[in-house]
């Protein structure tokens, strides 16, 4: 029997962030898929196995949990180059989209096939049986609507198979994924855990632990605002909105195409333009460095104003709040605009994470802390029962 391996996966609207095992392996894959045929053309097929698997994820996914079963997909960077690339749409529910599950299964399969895991999972011919203890999350809005129950049930009730087709190194391998344990956490609560606790859930930030805090998590398609009081999320005051950065990124992408004739493959390309260390807000047009500041500033300032209005409304209803933290990938994109608005308007005590990776990986890190602690407790309980018997 395969041993259960810990996985913590944040299915973000921009990309998947995942931690495995003892947090010694991580994956970050753009959340883009594209339907495809079985034999995708590859130039230099004999060199396929010298390439990076993450640049050529080509899979068939079989799972009763999917609305469209047994479909072939390009995933991540490979999908972004396709004409029919699909990213999650504004207004969609993460828990109800096939794309969420395809990305989740693909990420787990990419961990399971690694040479380092050959002792962890049983392999018969070209089929790997992989058991996971998974920690993941959903937006607060979806958890409050009870959608986590159906999502969890669909994942737990079946074996899900990923077959690698024309994928470097892994072509011809199949992975059967089964969940031994599965925890789904509301994203706002997870952000708080990551703020104040270490991997063993010991408190590391005593300055914050008993404060009244607002955490505004700005994602691609949604924004979650958690109100923390007495070390708990106030469920009645927690709010989720269908407002993320994706629509704005799409608008920037379209305006760059219209004004400069430049086609960007995906929203990820727009994020890179907005956040890169050198030549930020610049693109190359016919070999010349060209500013797109006029486009990005106008569109992102409008979004920042909407986000700031949400903060103001929540703070007014929670007047004893001591600090608000903006977290998530969207917070990194909007940081300068939100800071300027706050300085010119209300002057709330707000904070960001200077470490860009820490902000973007906050959910995955939190899920890892929570699922690892759950796994340790489960193991202790099992050991106690064994001793009694």
- The span from the CA of 100 to the CA of 85, in Å, is 14
The whole-model pTM stands at 0.86
More confident residue, 298 or 330: 298
Angle at 61 between CA 145 and CA 363, to 5 degrees: 45
Could you give the percent of the chain with pLDDT greater than 70?
Answer: 96
Least confident of 64-78, 120-134, 164-178, 267-281: 267-281
Task: Say how far apart CA 326 and CA 248 lie, in whole Å.
Answer: 18
d(CA 197, CA 188): 14
Contact, 136 vs 19, CB < 8 A? no
pLDDT in tens, 201-241: 788 877 777 889 999 988 888 888 888 887 777 777 878 78
**More confident site: 199 or 310:** 310
pLDDT of 354 higher than 70:
no
Alpha-carbon distance of 296 to 253, in angstroms, equals: 10
Task: Give the Å distances, CA to CA, from 33 to 1, 86, 375, 387.
Answer: 32, 5, 32, 48
In Å, how far from its chain's centre is CA 213? 23
What is the number of H-type helices and E-type strands within the chain? 12, 18
Does the pLDDT of residue 384 top 90, yes or no?
no
Cβ neighbours, 10 Å, residue 248? 24
What distance in Å separates the CA atoms of residue 305 and residue 75, rounded to the nearest whole number?
Answer: 34
Residue 257's φ and ψ, nearest 5 degrees, are -65, -45
- Identify the CA nearest to 143 among candidates 99, 105, 94: 94
Contacts 24+ apart (CB under 8 A), 114-121: 114/25, 116/25, 117/5, 120/2, 120/3, 120/5, 121/2, 121/3, 121/5
The residues, any chain, with a CB within 8 Å of residue 93's CB and separated by 6 or more, are 142, 147
> According to the model, what pLDDT value does residue 278 have?
84
pLDDT of residue 1: 46
Dihedral sign (CA 321, 325, 331, 336): positive
Say what the alpha-carbon torsion angle 84, 85, 91, 94 is, to the nearest 10 degrees.
130
Q: What is the reported pLDDT for 389? A: 63
Burial 294-322 (b: 16+ CB within 10 A, else e): ebbeebbbebbeebbebbeebbeebeebe
- Average pLDDT of the segment spanning 130-138: 95
The domains of the chain, with CATH numbers, are 5-188+364-388 (3.30.420.40)
Q: Residues with Cβ < 8 Å from 40, sequence gap 6 or more?
A: 58, 74, 165, 166
pLDDT in tens, 138-173: 988 888 889 999 999 999 999 999 999 999 999 999
């Amino acid at each position: 029997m395969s041993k259960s391996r810990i996985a913590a996966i944040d299915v973000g609207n921009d990309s998947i962030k995942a931690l495995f095992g003892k947090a010694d392996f991580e994956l970050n894959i753009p959340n883009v898929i594209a339907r495809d045929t079985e034999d995708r053309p590859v130039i230099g097929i004999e060199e396929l196995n010298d390439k990076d698997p993450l640049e050529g994820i080509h899979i068939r996914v079989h799972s009763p949990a999917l609305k469209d079963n047994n479909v072939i997909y390009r995933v991540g960077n490979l999908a972004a180059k396709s004409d029919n690339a699909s990213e999650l749409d504004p207004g969609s529910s993460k828990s109800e989209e096939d794309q969420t599950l395809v990305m989740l299964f693909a990420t787990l399969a990419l961990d399971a096939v690694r040479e380092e895991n050959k002792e962890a999972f049983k392999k018969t011919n070209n089929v790997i049986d992989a058991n996971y203890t998974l920690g993941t999350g959903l937006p607060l809005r979806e958890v409050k609507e009870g959608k986590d129950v159906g999502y969890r049930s669909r994942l737990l009730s079946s074996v899900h198979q990923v077959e690698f087709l024309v994928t470097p190194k892994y072509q011809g391998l199949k992975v059967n994924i089964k969940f031994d344990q599965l925890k789904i956490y509301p994203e706002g609560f997870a952000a708080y855990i990551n703020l104040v606790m270490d991997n063993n859930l010991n408190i590391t930030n005593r300055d914050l632990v008993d404060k009244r805090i607002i955490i505004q998590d700005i994602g691609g398609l949604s924004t979650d605002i958690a109100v923390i009081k007495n070390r708990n999320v106030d469920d009645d005051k927690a709010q989720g909105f269908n407002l993320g950065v994706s629509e704005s990124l799409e608008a920037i992408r379209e305006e760059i195409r219209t004004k400069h004739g430049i086609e960007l493959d995906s929203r990820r390309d727009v994020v890179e333009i907005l956040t890169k260390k050198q030549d930020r807000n610049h693109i190359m047009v016919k070999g010349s460095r060209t500013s797109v500041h006029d486009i990005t500033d106008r569109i992102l300032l409008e979004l920042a104003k909407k986000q700031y209005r949400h903060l103001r409304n929540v703070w007014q209803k929670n007047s004893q709040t001591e600090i608000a933290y903006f977290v998530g990938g969207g917070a990194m994109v909007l940081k300068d605009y939100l800071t300027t608005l706050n300085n010119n308007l209300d002057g709330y005590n707000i904070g960001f994470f200077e470490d860009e990776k820490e902000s973007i990986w906050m959910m995955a890190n939190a899920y890892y802390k929570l699922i690892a602690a759950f796994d340790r407790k489960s193991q202790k309980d099992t050991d106690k029962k064994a001793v009694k018997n």
